[in-house]
Amino acid sequence: MEKQEIDSPNVKAPSFVDCLIPILVIILLMASSVWLFGNDSSYGPNQIALIIGMFITSIIGLKNGYSWKAIETGLINGISMSLGACLILLAVGSLIGTWMLSGTVPTLIYYGLSLLSPSWFYPAALLVCAIVAMSIGSSWTTAATVGVALIGVATGMGLSLPITAGAVVSGAYFGDKLSPLSETTNLAPAVAGTNLFEHIRYMLWTTVPSVVIALILFTFLGLQIDSVASAEKIEEMRTLLTSNFTISWYTLIPLVILLTLALNKMPAFPAIAIGALAGGICAILFQLDVVLSLLNSEHNPLIKSLMVVWTAMFNGVEFSTGVENFDNLISRGGMSSMLNTVWLIICAMSFGAVLEKVGILKTIVFYILKGATSAGSMISRTILTCIGTNLVTADQYMAIVMPGRMYKEEFSKRDLHQLNLSRSLEDGGTITSPLIPWNTCGAYMQSALGVLVIDFWMYAFFNLVNPILAVIYAYFGIKILRLTPPKVEVRSPA
């Protein structure tokens, strides 16, 4: 049997029209999805839109000489890039389920209600998430732990969940962006060819003013809160928590274990999985009455408790206390709760992978760079390319690596230091990823926090302000580094 060639030697670069077709189709389909299905658009309609976009892009690739085998290989490689994120998502689902069951999240909510003032809750939520994310280098872990608890606190205080989610995302991405432990913070300078700590110091110029603006906006929103009404809801929530769970410092052991593993640089998937198992063990040790109440069975208590913990890991927990809002808050988790997000990520990565394979992304960048002469136009187009890559490939790593590779030489040609590039990759790639519902980060935040991206994106002030501020800096020449030409020593003839 003859070996089938993967790529034909006669493949053509896509034309401008070729590039335009899948982009316009996906914009039209996504807009139609939101218009027709509203908040349910992420639960199937968006996935179908992305798959249709993938097939249309594949047809363009076939027209230009690519074999289906080549396209399929690119498709599989693209999907494989998202498998790590999918595994983390499944582990987070288990973690939320067992942490609800063990009382870890209820305890965090209880202490949060005791310590946080309603008027200052939004800026405090940002700062807490920023500190945790900077310490462990992971916006995802921060959102799945502290973020989930803060959503619970906001529910108890009667505060806005979209604004709270915006504060959580803002803080988590601020801390992640400046942490030397963060994957994206290491990836951007590696792609651009700069030093990690120089990259972090250079990012401070756009990142710190952005978070200050965000804090001011969240403070203004917090001052509008009716503290008297919130106080009544806080007391009601505290009573419900103590009536249904054992609230104590030792129920926070799973959180301490997870943060310790993260600080010691254990990869996210095994760290979160261990955290989920620790939650299950603590549930049996500290919340046995709660565990046994969730299953009517003739089995002995040990078998019953094992079954409940097992169920919490794959299907979450469901409580019935008679208070609907409280039940909705604590009935969460399980791997099954993440399956729709995994489905969305696979479909989005399929579309992005085929776009890259058939050369459409590279051609788009070529057209974007036409006429980019000034530092302002170069940096602003880089940031826009990162945002566009986040939109079409649905992955923040792609939004850093692809523009970084494509623009590295162009920055040097235009006498711009590579630190300008590495900062722009973060300002446009890392920061905007959670604002896109079908991006891996947006889908993750939506699943972990239980708030739709289309509801919280307008309140993720840090993520919105940072790219805008970076473009303003570029056009006004603020903190734009130029390459210093090497000094040539002229020697007189001997």
**What's the pLDDT at 1?**
36
**What's the pLDDT at 368?**
76
**What's the pLDDT at 7?**
54
**What's the pLDDT at 79?**
84
> Looking at beta carbons, which pairs linking 359-363 to residues 24 or more positions away fall under 8 Å?
359/11, 359/13, 359/14, 359/64, 360/14, 360/18, 360/19, 360/22, 360/57, 360/60, 361/389, 361/392, 361/393, 361/402, 362/406, 363/13, 363/14, 363/15, 363/16, 363/18, 363/19
Distances (CA, A) of 208 to 36, 130, 256, 326: 40, 12, 29, 37
**What's the pLDDT at 138?**
84
Q: Where are the beta strands (DSSP E) in 250-320?
A: none
**What's the pLDDT at 227?**
65
DSSP lists the bridge partners of residue 386 as none
**What's the pLDDT at 435?**
94
Contact 421, 382 (CB under 8 A): yes
Phi (first) and psi of residue 416, to 5 degrees: -110, 130
User: How does pLDDT run across 162-216, given as a tens digit for each residue?
Assistant: 999 999 999 999 999 998 878 788 888 888 888 888 898 999 999 999 999 999 9
Residue 139: closest CA among 99, 88, 82: 88
| pTM of the predicted protein model | 0.79
d(CA 38, CA 96): 27
DSSP lists the bridge partners of residue 482 as 416
**What's the pLDDT at 485?**
56
Distances (CA, A) of 21 to 334, 346, 355, 390: 39, 22, 11, 18
pLDDT beneath 50: ranges in the chain: 1-6, 486-490, 492, 494
**What's the pLDDT at 491?**
52
**What's the pLDDT at 371?**
67
